[in-house]
Structure 1
Amino acid sequence: MKYFLVLILVVSLLNCSNEEEIITTTSSGDESTYFPPINSNEWETKSPESLNWNTSNLNDLYTFLEEKNSKSFIILHKGKIVVEYYMNNHTEASLWYWASAGKTLTTAVTGIAQDNAFLNINNKVSDYLGTGWTNATLEQENLITCKNLLNMTSGLDDTLGDDTSPGNLQYLSDANTRWAYHNVYVKLQDIVASATNQTWNNYFESALKNRIGMSGSWIPLNDLSVYWSNTRSMARFGLLSSKNGKWDNTQVISESFLDQATNTSQNINNAYGYLWWLNGKQNFHLPQSQIQFNGELIPNAPTDMYCALGKNDQKIYIIPSKDLVLVRMGNTADSDNFGLSTFDNDLWEKINNVIN
């Protein structure tokens, strides 16, 4: 009899291995992560009740989101959709801009290019773009590495607007001596293009977008290109990041690079990685300010949270301890901002009323 039961178990396991999108379990019985299929709109869901969430507060969260000019909101748990809500004439198919939350896409692709030995973030920017890419002296310019663009310590003047032409990239201090939110990070896209001998768009699509089934495209806006996609594509990228750069059984971005990217990257702004914002630090700096603020970035949010924050409240929140990814797209909740706003803390108060 026991041999018969073993045979049944083996056959069952073989059958499961041939089915797509099967959710396996670990030895402890914990549900493993689900990854939605790359070439399909299908996405498995689970109910808030299955997580013992306080569903009586969901309507309050939805009302708050709608009143704060949101267009979409998603919560993933272990990859499955638990909450997906569209409002203010937005739908699952609608496209919206990521704004500076899309900086983290540049981080990811830079990491992939380094993983594939096309570049090294510790090298000088001029190794890839040639000298004269700034208005600084050669000595000053040669201090600036790719890593300085990733962690906002280039030392270039951040008060001169979005233009990243050489004449507008003026020296203010030596690299690594000053943290300042600066659109010079976009030069990383030129670095990737030069290093890979491809256009930025082509490398982005083959290295990242197509490998995780994202929609969307880069659309020029003033002196920058801004990424537009549907909300689920933003959630896909959040899921990849939350799983240490792994999509299903494929390591898309190395875990070591993402670990660097999502931890403090310099000794000035503790709440900043490689274009990712970090919660739970003792102090932080904000864009267009050299003031150090004491306390956590978003006090109501989990301390281990890291996030992509875009202008007018585009958000990707990742909480490793809870295995959650949250996405918010929409118009500005209250007033124009670079990414972080009081809305973050107010939103997390509402979220906590549901998930805790």
Structure 2
Amino acid sequence: MSKTRAYGADCILLAAFEAAYGTMPAGGYTRLSFKETSLGAERPLGYDPLLGQGRDAQDPFYEAVKDEGEFGVPLDLRSLGFWLKGLLGAPATSGDAGTGFTHAFTSGGALPSLALEIGHPTLAVPKFFRHSGAKLGSLAFDMARSGPANATIAVIAQGETEAAATIDAAPASFALRRFSQGSGSILVGGQPLANVVGGRLSFSNNLEPVETIRSDGLIDGVDETEATAEGSVEVRFGTDTTLTSAIAAESPVEMQYGFTIPGTDYALRFHLPRVFLPKKKQEIKGPGGIQASYDWRAARDPVAGYLLRVTLVNDVDGY
């Protein structure tokens, strides 16, 4: 049924990896689930008044195109691997259909570019917004005791075009199966961190748009600069000295943020082999429990050879 107004419930997101930057593939797209998005092209108006033209305002001019935004996506078993490939590069995959496939995504490599289409197919006049030359800049998520597990992914694209029909009428798709906060864990030195009540992890490629002079106002590309990872853990103050001992020794710790699906071998693990924690004062705010939040920063481990490795174990044979 066609509609005169657009609704988020009707939106469709398609994505494919580009063979050449800024060139959208003609087919081979995958339909992905998402919660929200702010991705869209902007071309703001600039103003440079001239004298001798009277008191009334003169024409503005158009600035260069800026096509950036974010996606809110679920941390799910299958389609997250597509996003991780865009964020970290192609994984090393092992395993089989009987035991499950293990996909290891490692930071520090070259990134592929994506083509994205955000469609409104149920409108009386359908609209499809296509974004070429998209690269994924960062991923961040929070950990808590309960609730859904979601992540925010930042995107920088080259530009946006509008079409009246979808670029792929028969895209592939992943069966949705979400991780939940109730199956999450934070490990330090391979052991569960005691008394932890919350956490956050953020990884960034620190993308830099190549803003050359062009007649169409588009960027020439997006370069990856230094990859960084940081986050926090919030713990109840008690007898566990795992963090305080590492802080006192000014030595890094190994950390892992992870989720599992109970009753299966499926899992999602964010491994950081070299994490530094700051010393924090213990504040007492009344008669209740005492908590401290440690804002950590990760560094590349010369032995492991990476800053961050994300391992996804599922039933998808490859990305």
TM-score by length of structure 1 reads 0.23
- Structure having the larger proportion of residues in helix: 1
- Structure having the larger proportion of residues in strand: 2
Q: Pick the structure with greater CA Rg.
A: 2
